[in-house]
Amino acid sequence: MKPSTPLCSHGGAMPAVDLAELRSVIDPFVPLGRSGLLPALHAAQSLYGWLPEAVCAEVARALNVPLADVHGVIEFYSMFYPEPVGQTIVRLCTDPACSLRGAEAVLDAACRKAGISAPGETSADGAYTVERSPCLGMCNTGVAANVTYRRDGRYHNRSFGHVRAYTLD
């Protein structure tokens, strides 16, 4: 790798990003300036699956906000990703109500099924990222999960296999 190649924080080379499509996606938010930052970041992440540095810089430039503010928003909100994530993101609630219903066992099962060793990792094939999540507001049906933005509250360690119904493959 060349020394001038930008790096992601995980140490890998940062992939090249075509910004032409991004500009059309964030264009509706440009007149909003700083107020358009959240929806612009959501739109950008929907386009790329994560928020590469070049995308962050273009959003900052287009909305006329400091790049530090863009990074601050990404760091504050846990569903913005500055690094590549899996095509399917599994977020499992580990707050008290779900923990009492076996959240840790479900989390372990999800990690095993995805082929990763710990929450927060992405499978080698890029198919899955498994994460701990704060309360998903489904305490009455836990263990609650959010699978690529679809909420479900019926997970337990014996039935976790039905997560594949939500995948893109």
pLDDT tens, residue by residue, 89-109: 999 999 999 999 889 988 998
Determine the Cα angle at 79 with ends 90 and 94, to 5°.
50
pLDDT digits (tens, 9 = 90+) for 26-43: 999 999 999 999 999 999
Contact 88, 52 (CB under 8 A): no
Contact 128, 84 (CB under 8 A): no
Where are the chain's structural domains? 20-76, 88-166
pTM above 0.85, yes or no: no
Residue 15: pLDDT band (50, 70, 90) is: low
Q: Which of 1-5, 23-27, 146-150 has the lowest mean pLDDT?
A: 1-5
Confirm or reject CATH 3.40.30.10 for domain 88-166, answering yes or no: yes
pLDDT at residue 6 in the model: 38
For the four alpha carbons of 9, 148, 17 and 27, in that order, the dihedral sign comes to negative
